Every structure is written in structure tokens, then in C-alpha cells.
Amino acid sequence: CDVMTCIAIIPARGGSKGIPNKNLAEVDGKSLVTRAINSAVQSGVVDFVVVSSDDPTILNEATKAGAVAINRPANLASVSAAIEDAITHALQIFSKDHQVPATLVLLQPTSPLRQASTISDAVHLFTENGSVGSVYGVTEAEHHPYKTFIATDSTLLPVGSIEDLSRSRQELPKAYRQSGSIYVVGVQDFLTNNSLHVSPVRWIEVSHKEAIDVDTPVDLDAVRQVASNFDV
């Protein structure tokens, strides 16, 4: 990134159903929120790291780790609150004291095995190609979507064609799912569209391990088991 052009926003609300105080849960001695901050700093392409949270403990930890801490109002921190609204709020508060960079990088703390190199690669892919609307971190879908169904009241309808259900995986187009680990988009495009998805979308493929999303205690155990193989 050129000087002063990238802002990373880490949304880290306090509440969590699956794991109490999830964003403060530790992996290899560091909390999920601190690991997210560290990965942004170590990427070498992020000028400002912002943590948006309604939890004073998370905000304090963010400040200690070198991030700009932004207090998120309760109405933007509920389970049903849209992440886009939390990002917009963070950008608005940040803009009061700083010039907002051109590029937005969203890093969710629930992807604690995200590599700094993934952030660097994604930002370079975005900034070095003028025709990119946004960049998504993805991983190959464990189950191909053309092998799945939509349920109606009375029957199952294949997502793809009936013929796709019996085709081998090699015959089907490659399918990815969001890893949840990283999104890159222009700040102005995000604000205009209120979306991280701006066409055309390019992608950075990450391993299934890096794509582990911590939602349950089982996920947290899995992350802790493989964390020793990562640098963050």
C-alpha cells in the first residue's frame, strides 16, 4: 500500500452465545482480538488498525496492542446488528480525527490463524489492479454447492441441475466458500454500496486451517491445536 492508504477494521463485540467473552479467548497466549491486530501490523500494508467494540475490556486490550479503539453503541453490537453498520460507524468516528484511507481491510477476530502474508497478498491484489471491486479470502468448499438442495414445503430442489448431483467433483466448476478471514474493498465503494461485495470480486485462497472460524468451543480447541504452526 502507498503511504496512508489502508485502514484495517476489526469488529469485536463483547457478547457471544457460543463462547463467553469469545474475542478475549486466548490462542497461544494471545487473545483473538490481539492476534487480529498483530496480523494487521505484521502485514506491512496497513496504516491504521481500528477495533470497534462495545466491551471496555476489549477496547483496553486493543489500545494496549497499538490499535485505535472505537466504542461501538449497543444498538450496533447486538446479534442482529449488521456488520456493515458497525464498519460505517467506525469510519465516521475515525474520520473526526484522521483522514480516512482509500482502502478498507476487514479482519474478523474469529479467524485467529489468518496470516500476515494473506493480508499483504490481498491488499496488493486489490491495489495493483484497478479493475478489482473487492477481494475476498476464500477456501475450497468442503461440500460442493451443486450437491446441495433447497428445501421447500413439499420437496427438495437441487441448487444446480439434477445431472450435477451425479457428476464427480472433477467435472464440476471449482467452488469456494468465504473464509471469513479477510475482505478488502475501497472505502468509498463500501460507503456507497453499504457492502463489502463490490464487483468484480477477486479472491485469495487460504487453507482450511487458516479458514477456521471460531464459533464454538470445538472450533477454539481446533485452533489451539494447530496454532503452534503459525507465526501470528
Q: Which of 69, 63, 67, 61 minimizes the C-alpha distance to 90?
A: 69
Cell of 17: 452465545
Cell of 122: 490481498
DSSP string, 143-188: S-GGG-EEE-SS-EEESS-TGGGGS-GGGSPP-EEEEEEEEEEEHH
Report the pLDDT value the prediction gives residue 93, as an integer from 0 to 100: 97
pLDDT tens for each residue of 40-67: 999 999 999 999 999 999 999 999 999 9
Report the pLDDT value the prediction gives residue 43, as an integer from 0 to 100: 96
Which helix (H) or strand (E) covers residue 122, if one does?
A: helix 116-127
Q: Which of 127, 162, 159, 128 minimizes the C-alpha distance to 146?
A: 159
pLDDT tens for each residue of 148-166: 999 999 999 999 999 999 9
Q: What would the mean pLDDT of 173-182 be, rounded to a whole number?
A: 94
Cell of 15: 457478547
**Residue 210 CB contacts under 8 Å (≥ 6 apart), including other chains:** 111, 113, 114, 115, 118, 139, 179, 181
Cell of 231: 507465526
- Indicate whether 17 pLDDT > 80: no
Q: What would the mean pLDDT of 68-80 be, rounded to a whole number?
A: 91
Q: Look at 17 and 67; give whichever has higher pLDDT.
A: 67
Report the distance separating Cα 79 and Cα 81, nearest Å. Answer: 6
Q: What would the mean pLDDT of 130-150 be, rounded to a whole number?
A: 94
pLDDT band of 78, cuts 50, 70, 90: confident
Report the distance separating Cα 156 and Cα 152, nearest Å. Answer: 6
- Indicate whether 232 pLDDT > 60: no
What's the mean pLDDT when you consider all of the chain?
92
Share of the chain above pLDDT 90, in %: 84
Report the pLDDT value the prediction gives residue 80, as an integer from 0 to 100: 83
pLDDT band of 229, cuts 50, 70, 90: low
